[in-house]
Amino acid sequence: MIVNDILAGHHARVLAHVEAVLPHADPARVHDPADDLGLMREAMIYAMQGGKGVRGALAFETARLLGVSGETALAVAAAAETFHAYSLVHDDLPAMDDDDLRRGRPTVHVKYGDALAILVGDALQALSFHFLASIDDPAVPPGNALVVLQRLAKVGGHLGMGGGQWMDLSAEGRPPVTVLAHVETVQRLKTGALIEWSATANALLSGAPPAPFETYAEAIGLAFQIQDDLLDVLGTEAEAGKAVGKDAGRGKATFVDLLGVEGARRRAQELVDEATGALEDFGQDAEILRELARFIVTRRS
Amino acid sequence: MIVNDILAGHHARVLAHVEAVLPHADPARVHDPADDLGLMREAMIYAMQGGKGVRGALAFETARLLGVSGETALAVAAAAETFHAYSLVHDDLPAMDDDDLRRGRPTVHVKYGDALAILVGDALQALSFHFLASIDDPAVPPGNALVVLQRLAKVGGHLGMGGGQWMDLSAEGRPPVTVLAHVETVQRLKTGALIEWSATANALLSGAPPAPFETYAEAIGLAFQIQDDLLDVLGTEAEAGKAVGKDAGRGKATFVDLLGVEGARRRAQELVDEATGALEDFGQDAEILRELARFIVTRRS
């Protein structure tokens, strides 16, 4: 499928950039006989591998639409993907979701231990801000870069990803909240905020109106989570590359619980229509972003 | 002692600022019946309380010396202290140093659980970048703010605090490295980098030469760690507000092992002299920073 190839191409660029930018310790200056810092660098790169790279692709494709330079697009894509990777590494920890498998491979803490996994997540978060603070583009006023940075910091705050993860974790063992607004809130904080950031950052950097991208991203963010819930119920571990059926086992309320399988599918499709419609003004140029929206509800992992 | 009062005053300002800036969830927009987000906010504030606030004080006092505005100084101080607090919360986790006591109180994971402690640390890191990205001061070019932000991101990277912590953790169970350069490297990464950032950020923001502050900060950073090692050997838990005697139990090489108690004291004093000398050009205005350097090697906790 063509979207898969486009995603793979974008993600390969992000990975190459992370590897190129992530410094090796200078042995003359850093006295590390056991090369612990080299192992940490390796674990950071491991954490970035194997993903689909949806957030990076959103950054690249919106940049193309808006005429943002390739270097700036790469910085935004790398920031989005390192931020995403950091959150996955921490969410997989035994104290959190306790997942052993991610993207078909052992999770970072299974391979490198809990302590290094915590530190790798921390360093990846810092790295994502590093990418943004390093944007050096005559077409991007530094003040715009600060705004985009501030928004990413908000995504990482307690009313963003971390808060969503905490609401999700805290729900375990309680009677499931059967209010759709609640499930949507958790999703918006946990997944939607970073997707929205990835799709709007280039507009904010270049001074273009972010509204169509906000509408697009809000819709695909929600559709993404609905599809995740469907895959958790219907998918197989081999296809998903991670454990499935966990939500039911934990008594979490999901979109499938609230809407049923057919209702969830229908809602996801409505959201895709909304997303593709939001980019109408960009005509044929936005076709890859529209394909990406469709891909989100047809993907198997 | 007067330095204690100055530190307490500065730290109270930072805490008030963090509480004021950290948003409450808007119940109309965020459907959180159990107020999990309120608990997360509370845990973030808990993590900030009780510290000495040395890093914040460095920011305030260097700002005063350089004529940097009070608001910008507050942003830098808050960024330094939230970043420091995040690293302590994560370092205290069972998978890391496994400490139950910090600043005389239960550590964040003891009080709120491991999952929330991980998320609180993550959100505090994001918050520190938020403070910096929000600097809005006609005397600070946005490009300078980006440089300062980039430097903080470096402190948080694998060749900064996290790398130092990882080298320190990895050393457990290995034969102690008896090379002074190695112990100094671990210290510089783990503690020195953030102290140096805190003392130089205002110079970089305002365009003043950072060199005297770099010399000052490098010296007090090292002196700080030597004093920590001395307190670990000689101090009592009641005075320190945290467990003592842990380094020896873990076979970590410390400055006291390498230099002896008297040698370590002498080296710390030399470093204090170096630090106070570096600020000579600022005359009487730098007296509080000089006092702070002296305080670092006389403190009991």
- At B249 the pLDDT is 56
Cβ neighbours of A288 (radius 10 Å): 19
- At A248 the pLDDT is 59
B36: nearest CA partner in chain A: A167
CB contact under 8 A, A163 and B125: no
| Span B117-148, pLDDT tens digits | 999 999 999 999 999 999 999 999 999 999 99
CB contact under 8 A, A162 and B22: no
- At A1 the pLDDT is 58
**Quick check: B99 and B107 in contact, CB under 8 A?**
yes
Q: Which residues of B touch A34 (CB under 8 A)?
A: 167, 170, 174
For residue A288, give both structure tokens.
Answer: 């890859």
Distances, alpha carbon A30 to alpha carbons A121, A205, B43, B197, in Å: 22, 36, 35, 18
**DSSP three-state, residue A188:** helix
| Span A31-73, pLDDT tens digits | 888 899 999 999 999 999 999 999 999 999 999 999 999 999 9
- At B235 the pLDDT is 77
Q: Give this complex's ipTM.
A: 0.95
Cβ neighbours of B9 (radius 10 Å): 12
- At B49 the pLDDT is 96
Rounded mean pLDDT of A248-263? 81
Chain A residues 167-196 with a CB less than 8 Å from chain B: 167, 169-170, 174, 177, 179, 181-182, 184-185, 189
| Span A202-217, pLDDT tens digits | 999 999 999 999 999 9
Q: What DSSP letter does each residue of A240-286 carry, written as one string?
A: HTS--SHHHHHT---HHHHHHHHHHHHHHHHHHHHHHHHTGGGGGGG
Q: How far apart are CA A275 and CA A61, in angstroms?
A: 14
Chain B residues 21-80 with a CB less than 8 Å from chain A: 22-23, 25, 30-34, 36-37, 39-41, 44
Residue of B193, B213, B194 whose CA lies nearest to B203: B213
Cβ neighbours of A38 (radius 10 Å): 14
Chain B residues 145-164 with a CB less than 8 Å from chain A: 145-147, 149-150, 152-160, 162-163
Average pLDDT, chain B: 93
| Span B30-82, pLDDT tens digits | 888 889 999 999 999 999 999 999 999 999 999 999 999 999 999 999 999 99
The answer, yes or no, to whether residue B94 has pLDDT greater than 90, is yes
Q: B8 — contact with chain A (CB < 8 Å)?
A: no
Q: What DSSP letter does each residue of B100-120 carry, written as one string?
A: SEETTEE-HHHHH-HHHHHHH
Average pLDDT, chain A: 93
Q: Name the pLDDT band for A249 (thresholds 50, 70, 90).
A: low
**Quick check: B123 and B41 in contact, CB under 8 A?**
no
CB contact under 8 A, B158 and A22: yes
The answer, yes or no, to whether residue B178 has pLDDT greater than 80, is no
Rounded mean pLDDT of B242-253? 66
Architecture category of domain B2-298 in CATH: Orthogonal Bundle (1.10)
**Quick check: A190 and A168 in contact, CB under 8 A?**
yes
**DSSP three-state, residue A121:** helix
For residue A6, give both structure tokens.
Answer: 């486009």
| Span A160-182, pLDDT tens digits | 999 999 999 998 888 877 788 88
Cβ neighbours of B208 (radius 10 Å): 17
Rounded mean pLDDT of A132-147? 97
Q: Which residues of A touch B39 (CB under 8 A)?
A: 166
Q: Name the pLDDT band for A18 (thresholds 50, 70, 90).
A: very high
CB contact under 8 A, B129 and A149: yes
